[in-house]
């Protein structure tokens, strides 16, 4: 599963021609999206944007690099294998291995991750509401639909990652 766009504004910008956005509107939306990213950075949430220096694409979902124990299917890192994770972050036989799955996090860590996700979502909502002001009335409803579709895809992506035991930063 591929992660969705980086923000509601990014989802709108990916439909520039369809929405008949002017150059000035595109510039304003990009500025608002950059402000959103800066607000997240100010909160200690650093998420390099794809295509910008420092950005690294995520490996394909299900690849060995994204598995909690770093091992591919059929390797020694599967459940019950040498790199598997048991209760308390320990593998079978008391060995330490792998990262804890999202559903095995202690309550404090889960609360921290939930709060981080909420901050990301709040920043996205605030930026998008400001972006609507840059759009003509006939562009606003299609933009709302695009943003809504993005948020649904983001939710589905998060659920899929949690089921796979992975934690994403979106």
pLDDT tier at 1 (50, 70, 90 boundaries)? low
Positive or negative, the Cα torsion across 104, 107, 109, 115? positive
35 vs 55 pLDDT, higher one = 35
Residue 6 CB contacts under 8 Å (≥ 6 apart), including other chains: 33, 47, 49, 50, 170
Say how far apart CA 68 and CA 103 lie, in whole Å.
12
33 vs 68 pLDDT, higher one = 33
pLDDT tens, position by position, 44-94: 887 655 444 433 333 333 333 333 333 333 333 333 333 333 444 434 444
Residue 1 CB contacts under 8 Å (≥ 6 apart), including other chains: 61, 156, 157, 160, 161
pLDDT tier at 5 (50, 70, 90 boundaries)? confident
pLDDT tens, position by position, 94-142: 444 444 554 566 889 889 988 999 999 999 999 999 999 999 999 999 9
The answer to whether the CB of 67 falls within 8 A of the CB of 74 is: no
Q: What is the structure's pLDDT at 18? A: 97
Residue 144 has pLDDT above 80, yes or no: yes
């Amino acid at each position: 599963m591929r992660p969705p766009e980086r923000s509601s504004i990014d989802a709108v910008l990916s439909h520039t021609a369809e929405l008949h956005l002017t150059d000035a509107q595109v510039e304003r939306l990009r500025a608002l999206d950059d402000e959103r990213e800066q607000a997240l950075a100010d909160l200690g949430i650093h998420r390099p944007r794809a295509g910008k220096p420092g950005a690294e694409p995520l490996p394909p979902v299900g690849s060995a690099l994204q598995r909690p124990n770093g091992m591919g299917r059929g390797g020694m890192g599967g459940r019950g294998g040498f790199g598997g994770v048991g209760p308390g972050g320990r593998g079978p036989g008391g060995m330490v291995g792998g990262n804890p799955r999202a559903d095995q996090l202690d309550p404090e860590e889960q609360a921290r991750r939930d709060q981080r996700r909420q901050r990301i979502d709040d920043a996205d909502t605030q930026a998008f509401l400001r972006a609507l002001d840059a759009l003509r009335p006939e562009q606003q409803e299609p933009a709302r639909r695009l943003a809504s579709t993005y948020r649904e895809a983001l939710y589905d992506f998060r659920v899929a990652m949690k089921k796979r035991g992975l934690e994403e930063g979106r």
